Structure 1
Amino acid sequence: MIEATQNVTDFNEKGSFTSGLQEAIDALPKSGGIVWVPPGVYTLHRHVRLRENVTVRGAGQSSRIVRTPEVSSPLMSEADAGDTSVHIQSGSEFTVGMEVSVFDKVQHGWYATHAFIVGISENRLHLDRPINRPCHPERDGRVAHAFSAFVGWEERGCELESLCIDGSNANGQSVFVDFTVSAIHLVRTVDARVRGCIVQHWLADGVSVQGGVGAIVSDCLAEGCLGHGFHPGTSVQHSLWTNNIGRDNGRDGLYFCMNVRHSVVSESTFYGNRRHGIGGLADGGDQYNVVANNTCVDNAHHGIEASRGKDNTINSNICLNNSQEEPGRYSGIALMDVTGMTVTGNRCLDDQEAQTQTYGVEESGTSDKNLIVANHCHGNLVGGVITVGADTKSADNLE
């Protein structure tokens, strides 16, 4: 059977807030199909909503998705739950059709509001949907033109392939570095696929998969994003993250968030990130995940960080020359307040003239009942393997 196909250039007309991408997706039949994105530059003023069994396919780096510059303004009065307009300090840089996020120090993440501007009257923005949670000026409430490039929400079989998504973040700043405005933001999807995509300089995370099952993120590059490069979170299960590169991101190369289960991060490289290579493992209920055959090199903090949880496997990774931000503070693999972890066959080394990586494998806090076996931990600043748990098993490590 021949799949239905639409070419985005057939819809890229003046007046489209997504350079024809949303219109091309919506033109496909209910059964789905393919949207072809030929070489070119496609500017977004708002996110593109993915659909079930729809593949958006580009030609690699020459199919560039860019966004309009971020603008923002403080709230001048409370934006109460249910309101469909917000009073801001200045509306001069906002335009009808833009997507905005409304948030404050309390209402962010899942509690922020994301809406389209349908009208502007002086310094009041009129929105297409009501405010989710109340936001207050005294809590630094703001409205920002911050949004995702692609969103898949409770869809089955949505796919992104061979696209270059460029946030054009030249100044390295944003007022809203939040996972809900990741470049690719998938929520409770089933069998979603992200293949061969590049995310550069986005104003939040690169690729975020929150909840759902069966997602595969492969052969992707996330670089220079203000948030994490990759972000499995919010109870996502049975997901695969393989053959990816996360480099020079503002937070972790890859970050595990709450209740990630039965997922695998493998065959990937994470380097030059401003926090950990791989971070957040075990924290918040992550359990029965595998981190294997990755390289974590020259990151600011730990190579791999696991904390406040249990029952994950860290196997056959290379953690080299980490703790670049503060020599002697962070280790190759850090086990903090964790139990039931299996840490085997890793190479946690420092081969710099002036070492920075503290230990190869460092167990600390209330950690206990971990298995730390057959790791090669040579040349670190302080030592190879250190344990604190009375029932932790540490054996056959080369230091």
Structure 2
Amino acid sequence: MRNRQDLVMTVGQTEGDLRGDDDKVIQAGIEYLHRLGGGTLEVLPGVYNLRNAIYLRPNITLRGSGEETILRKVGSVVTALARDSDWFEYGVQVADTKGFVPAGGIMLRSKTGPGDWQFDVLRATVTAIEGNVIFLDRLTKENFWLEKDATAATIFPILTAENVDDVAVEDIVLDGNRDENEHINGNFAGGVFIQHCNRWSFRNVASRNYNGDGFSFQVCDDIQFLNCKAINNADLGFHPGSGSQRPVFQKCLSLGNSQGIFFCWSVSDGLAENCVLSENRMYGISIGHRDTDNIIRQCTIERNGQVGILFREEANEFRSGSRNKIENCIIRDNGIKEQGIGIDIKGKIRDIAIHNTRFENTEDKNQNIGIRIGGEAERIMLQGNTFENCPVQIKNLRSGKD
């Protein structure tokens, strides 16, 4: 009798230990289990409409009922701030409070530059609304000033956490309701958005239709995905974010996003195996800034809009995505007509191995170049690769080299 047995609770719309059809009932179950040190929350079939993110806690398993359990984000609204808010306040004054509700999610943003990633951001929960003042559950922590186009919006991830370890998410669909939501960069939100979290596993989880990234995890180690799907998200399907070590993607599908898997900055010792990266608008896989020692194995990378696998050009050798290996993959029909490239290796990159990979250009004749090697690349090791109907099998831009 010395082994702990975790509690299993159920949430449902017409049955279960807790009943409801929104984020609050799911969050209530998570908090109850958290008080006990962890456990499993089973979410019974139904569409659960979320006005706020689900915040995961340590040692929690969140398990749905497969495709019959859908967590769906409600439509978003955005309003300008009506006065400056400084970094030490618990509320903001806005032009219009319509669409904001107590207990709902809120995101404050003010611009720090022209890019869609250049914002100061606060993710919070509305605690009260009085007139045109929205009160928050936490301090603003940044200055949200009118001169920086400060706004408040009902934008939030579907699943989120920060500094939370040892979580499992299984058998569930996350629907971002893309057509009714404003776009948000994946450094701030996503279907899944976690920061400084370790040892998470996702099994049979679909993240679809989010107006941003499908799965985004920043500075997170040992995040594993098995049989997961990122479908029709506005930006990145899977976004292993800066500093994340040992991510694993096995038997996953990334379809119809802007990029399939985007290795951000300093993502190392990762594995993508038996995955399909297909019909993404730009790249199947993108590798760049200090993304080293990753393996792409037995993946099918096909019909992506520009390049199958891109090694991004970085400022110098140290920042380049070196020491990566691609093996036993199928790379076909990437790019637009007669201009596509299977693998494009750019910059001062070193020690890239491409072994036993098949490059195919079928009837659409898009992927005319199998492998393009940039002029500053060194030690590119090619072995056992085959090329079918590729007018240019290997385009080597290095001076004096084959």
User: Normalized against structure 2, the TM-score is what?
Assistant: 0.88
Counterpart Cα distance in 1 of 2:375 and 2:79: 43
Separation of aligned partners in 2, 1:300 and 1:136: 39
Please say if 1:144 is aligned against 2:150.
no
Which has the higher mean CA deviation after the structures are superposed, 329-338 or 74-83? 74-83
User: What amino acid does structure 2 have at the position aligned with 1:351?
Assistant: T
The equivalent residue for 2:69 is 63
Contact 1:368–1:391 (CA<8 Å) still a contact in 2?
Answer: no
Amino acid at match of 1:4: L
Root mean square deviation, CA, Å: 2.2
SS in 2 for 1:287: coil
Paired positions, count:
383
Matched-pair contact (CA < 8 Å) for 2:207–2:230? yes
SS in 1 for 2:207: strand
Query: Which structure 1 residue ranges, 5 or more long, are not aligned?
Result: 395-399
How far apart are residue 358 of structure 1 and its match?
3.6
Separation in 2, partners of 1:313, 1:188: 27
- The 5 Å alignment of 1:229-378 reads 229-249=237-257, 251-279=258-286, 281=287, 283-307=288-312, 308=314, 309=320, 310-324=322-336, 327-337=337-347, 338-353=349-364, 355-378=365-388
User: Structure 1: how far apart are the matches of 2:399 and 2:271?
Assistant: 29
Contact 1:99 1:145 in 2 (8 A): yes
Q: Does 1:6 align with 2:9?
A: yes
Distance in 1, matches of 2:125 and 2:251, equals 36
What residue in structure 1 maps to residue 317 of structure 2?
none
Output the amino acid matched with 2:85.
Answer: A
Aligned equivalents of 1:73 and 1:284: distance in 2?
Answer: 36
Deviation at 1:152, TM superposition (A): 3.0
Residue 368 of structure 1 contacts residue 388 of structure 1 at CA under 8 Å; is this kept in 2? no
Bigger mean CA offset, 117-126 vs 291-300: 117-126
Deviates more, 1:67-76 or 1:99-108: 99-108
Identify which range, 23-32 or 47-56, moves more after superposition: 23-32
The match for 1:183 is 191
Question: Comparing both structures, which one devotes a greater share of its residues to strand?
Answer: 2
Where has structure 1 moved over 6 Å in runs of 4 or more? none
For residue 351 of structure 1, report the CA deviation from its aligned partner: 0.5
Distance in 1 (CA, whole Å) between partners of 2:134 and 2:198 is 35
SS in structure 1 of the partner of residue 19 of structure 2: coil
- For the residue of structure 2 that corresponds to 1:192, the secondary structure is strand
The change in CA–CA distance for 1:275 and 1:358 in structure 2 (over 3 A counts) is: same
8 Å CA contact 2:191–2:208 kept in 1: the answer is: no
User: Quick one: which amino acid aligns to residue 8 of structure 2?
Assistant: T
Task: Please give the alpha-carbon distance, in whole angstroms, between the structure 1 residues aligned to 2:400 and 2:356.
Answer: 20
Note if 1:85 corresponds to 2:91. yes
Residue 125 of structure 1 and its aligned partner are, at CA, apart by 2.1
Query: Does residue 133 of the first structure (1) align with residue 149 of the second (2)?
Result: no
Once the two structures are TM-superposed, the CA of residue 297 in structure 1 deviates from its matched residue by 1.1
- Asked whether the 8 Å contact 2:204–2:226 carries over to 1, the reply is yes
Q: 8 Å contact 1:70–1:145 — kept in the other structure?
A: yes
**Displacement of 1:46:** 1.1
The letter of the residue matching 1:342 is: A
Distance 1:141 1:305 in 2: 35
Q: Does 1:211 align with 2:219?
A: yes
Within the candidate set 82, 94, 112, 2:100 is matched to: 94
> What per-residue deviation string (whole Å, max 9, x for no partner) do you get for residues 9-46 of structure 1?
333348xx614111101111433110011111212111
Percent sequence identity is 20
1:200 to 186, 198, 208: 208
By how many angstroms is 1:356 displaced? 1.8
Letter in 2 for 1:230: F
Question: Deviation string for 1:169-198 (max 9, x for gaps)?
Answer: 236x62423332111123222221100011
Change (3 A) 1:94 1:31: closer
Rounded to whole Å, the distance in 2 between the matches of 1:296 and 1:187 is 28
- Report the alpha carbon displacement of residue 102 of structure 1 after superposing the two structures with TM: 1.3
Q: CA deviation at 1:111?
A: 4.0
Partner of 1:397: none
Q: After the TM superposition, which of the residue ranges 133-142 and 59-68 deviates more from structure 2?
A: 133-142
- How far did residue 340 of structure 1 move? 1.6
User: Following the alignment from structure 1 to structure 2, what is the Cα–Cα distance between the partners of residues 383 and 136?
Assistant: 54
